[in-house]
Structure 1
Amino acid sequence: MSAAAFVLAINLLVAAIFATSFGVVAAYQRSALGARWLAFAYGLGVCNIALEFILPYQADHRPVSFAIFTVFLLALAGCVVGMAHHYRIAPPWRLLALAIAASLTLNLLILELPRGDLPRNLLYQAPYAAMQAIGVLVALKNPRKRALDLALLGLWALSGLHFLGKPFLAAWIGSGAAPQDYIGTTYAAFSQSVGAVLVVAIGLLMLLIILRDVMAEMTDRSETDALSSLLNRRGFESRGNEALCLIERSGVPGAMIVADLDYFKQINDGYGHAAGDGVIAAFARCLRDNCDQRAVVGRLGGEEFAAFIPGANLAAGKLYAEAVRSTFRDQPAHPAGPALPVTASFGVAQSRPGETLSELLRRADAALYEAKTKGRDRVCLAFSGTVHPLPAPEPGAVVKLS
């Protein structure tokens, strides 16, 4: 067995491993459409390498040579589509179709040209490089480029340059007098070795990126309350602790707001659970719409909610709570819900140095209890263990969180 044949055998095994790996991910996570396309692409890679082994035994190389080119081109296109689907970007179908059609036509035109001809080899490899360039364009459209994504983008670009460099290497050391001789040449051994490194590196990166994002999606689902679309208690405590640690290091305060819907049991009993669910969803929207991206907002359970705003003091927490309170009270009643306005009560506390999230929640909850006992539909603040109710804002006043 020649050195190139040995490397090809390794490449076949590697492609099969990646095809299986992406297939397992796609089967386990049915929403991972990108993994399905990548499994398909690496499956085509296995077929491509099998054709390379068949080529030396063909009297007329043209059908198998054209099949090798076509299968590998489609495998690269499959990788582009898989990456686009994973990044939730519309695949460039028209551009891919145009590139594939032009590439196949070009390959048919140069099929009979001498193998040692440099222009011929450049025209042969150019479609592969063009497909890699399309992959780079798709990767650049990804709005959230992290370290792994940037590394993948760089590897796609490097792989494209590698295809453009192969014709010059073939002209220098020779790629065989006929296509059937390719597998026994030094050029084939070198080309397949470099290709193996790139295939493994790109495959590993794409697999790691998909696994990273699938696990993040699973974590988000486990930490999200289905009814309100806010964080559940587990998610709120996890994100809240992270935010609290961040402000501790930065030396800035944070405001904790705890809210509870007033007379919620009466809504459920009088109008049904569907109406109660609508009230919870409406209140969640008010909480979400009146805060910025820094805030950690969650439904702690039942009709109890909480929001932690890093970098906000007690006054800013009060403004946020009043904005939510007035917005929620003034919104139109749902047709299937209670005819009278639905209200909520709030407790606000500012974080202290060294205070844990549970301690901060406890102080805000004490302020909420005070708001409940003083008549509901109001905001109370926690000042060094003492809570104080706040008067309702003037009619028509607009309160915004800066």
Structure 2
Amino acid sequence: MTGQIFISLLNPAIGLLFAAAFFLLWFQRRERYIAYAAAAYVATAFAFLVQDVAPALPMELQRLPANAGFLLTGLFFAAAIVGRYGLPIPWRAMTVTTAVSLAAFLWFLLGRPSIEGRIYTISLGAGIIALMVVRALWPLAKPHLIDRLLFWVAALSAANLIVRPLVILSLTGGFANYEGFQQSIYWTTVQFSQAIVSVLAAISLMVAIAIDLIAELRQQAESDPLSGLLNRRGFEAAATAALRRCGGENPSVALLIADLDRFKQVNDVHGHAVGDAIIAAFGAVVRHSAPPAMVAGRIGGEEFALLLPGDGIETARRVAEAVRTGLAPACAGRIPPALTPTASFGLATGAPGKGLSQLMREADQALYEAKRAGRDRVRAFASALPLSAAG
């Protein structure tokens, strides 16, 4: 008897433990999908407690909330996994599946009593909900091991819910009453397989949450919140990786360095709020003008760097001119009307053996030439110019 009570309390204990863990994570992250995971484990703990521990009601009606809890477990956990990827959660389809399963369950409970019928209706309903997760995740790219693991956890859950009842009941036969059902091999497999799937699903989702948190912290560490671009550390890391990918004997890459003209004077005369508005506008223009592969960062107070992998000097010049001419219109309404912000640009292009530091030195030298020529203009490092232009 003691052993049976221990087995009966195994899944409720697991459910409550993981529910508490997910609630704690939710208090820290405030992501809705984490709250769904917590709700799923509350539902599974409730379902197993009612099924195995709660006193019997007339006509075995305690089975209805227990099995509703099993379905809600699948529903909320499906919402947690799908929600983690920012996909539309199929609430309507899951709700209809749950309602149909419960209606069929009631029929096999009160209309035409059949324990096997009740098993099949609930297992099939929960399995269909798990298949909705498989269908949602199937077309997604799965760059990390944890993404593939979450997909296979959903697939394993669907197989466990749909295939296992068919196989075991076909081998062991039906049940005359609930006493035989709860002492059966079938119910033992439910308790242990559900415990294994619950632990695997919870650990997988917690690892996914940790990966998301690490990625968010890395993004915060490498981003400049004012401009919306990378900071110097983030730019150098991303630009170095981009240069490595487009390396070779004839690398095609261009680097732009931009500097906001007379920026210290703007801050001194108009205040730092105006300077911040110009920086934010510059970042917005860069993002709007950026080719998809461009790496852009704010590498100093008023200095920016833009790397264009796979592009040459002409593309770099077009991007520089688009940003240069777009800066003042982007600042309209955000700074004093009498103030017209400008920026100067220096360009450099890649060559075999030329690294990021050399590119930046050459672009910086070209930027100095643009400043010396009167500011608000674009200049290219001499070796970056075509022979016709250099002559």
User: CA 1:8/1:203 → structure 2, altered by over 3 Å: closer, same or farther?
Assistant: farther
- Whether 1:233 and 2:232 are equivalent positions in the alignment is yes
Instruction: Report the secondary structure of 2:224's partner residue.
Output: coil
Residue equivalent to 1:187: 186
Partners of 2:193 and 2:307 in 1: CA distance? 52
Please, what TM-score do these two structures have when normalized by structure 2? 0.86
| 1:146 counterpart (128, 139, 143) | 143
Question: What's the C-alpha RMSD, in Å, of the aligned pairs?
Answer: 3.1
Q: Deviations over 1:334-389 (max 9, x none)?
A: 36334253211011122343444333323222221221122111122224599x9x
Contact (CA 8 Å) 2:107, 2:113: kept in 1 or not? no
Q: Which amino acid aligns with 2:106?
A: L
Displacement of 1:137 in angstroms is 4.1
User: CA 1:305/1:256 → structure 2, altered by over 3 Å: closer, same or farther?
Assistant: same
Residue equivalent to 1:395: none
Partners of 1:75 and 1:124 in 2: CA distance? 12
Matches within 5 A, 1:155-170: 155-168=153-166, 169-170=168-169
Instruction: Report the secondary structure of 1:58's partner residue.
Output: coil
Partners of 2:246 and 2:269 in 1: CA distance? 44
Instruction: Report the secondary structure of 2:335's partner residue.
Output: coil
Between 1:364-373 and 1:244-253, the stretch displaced more is 244-253
Task: Report how many aligned residue pairs link the two structures.
Answer: 385
Displacement of 1:296 in angstroms is 0.7
Displacement of 1:192 in angstroms is 2.8
Residue equivalent to 1:366: 365
Contact (CA 8 Å) 1:5, 1:183: kept in 2 or not? no
By relative contact order (CA 8 Å, sep 6+), the higher-ranking structure is: 1
Residue equivalent to 1:22: 22
User: CA 1:336/1:327 → structure 2, altered by over 3 Å: closer, same or farther?
Assistant: closer
Percent of aligned pairs with the same amino acid: 32
Between 1:81-90 and 1:324-333, the stretch displaced more is 324-333
Flag structure 1 segments of 5+ consecutive residues without an equivalent: 392-402
Residue equivalent to 1:122: 120
Instruction: Report the secondary structure of 2:230's partner residue.
Output: coil
Q: Which amino acid aligns with 2:183?
A: G
Partners of 2:220 and 2:285 in 1: CA distance? 22
Between 1:159-168 and 1:251-260, the stretch displaced more is 159-168
Partners of 1:59 and 1:159 in 2: CA distance? 30
Displacement of 1:34 in angstroms is 1.0
User: CA 1:271/1:116 → structure 2, altered by over 3 Å: closer, same or farther?
Assistant: closer
Instruction: Report the secondary structure of 2:304's partner residue.
Output: strand
Contact (CA 8 Å) 1:44, 1:75: kept in 2 or not? yes
Contact (CA 8 Å) 2:285, 2:330: kept in 1 or not? no
Contact (CA 8 Å) 2:344, 2:377: kept in 1 or not? yes
Partners of 1:101 and 1:250 in 2: CA distance? 64
Residue equivalent to 1:376: 375
Residue equivalent to 2:94: 96
Residue equivalent to 1:73: 71
Contact (CA 8 Å) 2:313, 2:384: kept in 1 or not? no
Partners of 2:358 and 2:10 in 1: CA distance? 58
Displacement of 1:91 in angstroms is 2.8
Contact (CA 8 Å) 1:225, 1:299: kept in 2 or not? yes
Please, what TM-score do these two structures have when normalized by structure 1? 0.84
Instruction: Report the secondary structure of 1:111's partner residue.
Output: helix
Partners of 1:361 and 1:5 in 2: CA distance? 70
Residue equivalent to 1:341: 340
- Whether 1:326 and 2:288 are equivalent positions in the alignment is no
Contact (CA 8 Å) 1:2, 1:183: kept in 2 or not? no
Displacement of 1:258 in angstroms is 0.7
Q: Deviations over 1:233-260 (max 9, x none)?
A: 2221221222122223696232111100
Contact (CA 8 Å) 1:61, 1:180: kept in 2 or not? no
Instruction: Report the secondary structure of 2:319's partner residue.
Output: helix
| 1:109 counterpart (100, 107, 113) | 107
Displacement of 1:19 in angstroms is 2.3
Contact (CA 8 Å) 1:3, 1:184: kept in 2 or not? no
Contact (CA 8 Å) 2:104, 2:118: kept in 1 or not? no
Displacement of 1:36 in angstroms is 1.6
Flag structure 2 segments of 5+ consecutive residues without an equivalent: none
Residue equivalent to 1:394: none
Q: Deviations over 1:166-205 (max 9, x none)?
A: 4322242146432233332122222333333332333232
Partners of 1:332 and 1:194 in 2: CA distance? 61
Instruction: Report the secondary structure of 2:223's partner residue.
Output: coil
Q: Which amino acid aligns with 1:183?
A: Q
Contact (CA 8 Å) 1:330, 1:341: kept in 2 or not? no
User: CA 1:274/1:63 → structure 2, altered by over 3 Å: closer, same or farther?
Assistant: same
Displacement of 1:68 in angstroms is 1.4
Instruction: Report the secondary structure of 1:297's partner residue.
Output: strand
Contact (CA 8 Å) 1:227, 1:277: kept in 2 or not? yes
Matches within 5 A, 1:230-379: 230-248=229-247, 252-328=251-327, 333-334=332-333, 336-379=335-378
Q: Which amino acid aligns with 1:155?
A: V
Q: Which amino acid aligns with 2:365?
A: A
Contact (CA 8 Å) 1:333, 1:341: kept in 2 or not? no
Contact (CA 8 Å) 1:321, 1:346: kept in 2 or not? yes
Residue equivalent to 1:396: none
User: CA 1:222/1:289 → structure 2, altered by over 3 Å: closer, same or farther?
Assistant: same
User: CA 1:33/1:59 → structure 2, altered by over 3 Å: closer, same or farther?
Assistant: closer
Instruction: Report the secondary structure of 2:308's partner residue.
Output: strand
Residue equivalent to 1:134: 132
Instruction: Report the secondary structure of 1:301's partner residue.
Output: coil
Q: Deviations over 1:203-245 (max 9, x none)?
A: 2322222222222122222222122111122221221222122
User: CA 1:330/1:16 → structure 2, altered by over 3 Å: closer, same or farther?
Assistant: closer
Contact (CA 8 Å) 1:4, 1:192: kept in 2 or not? no
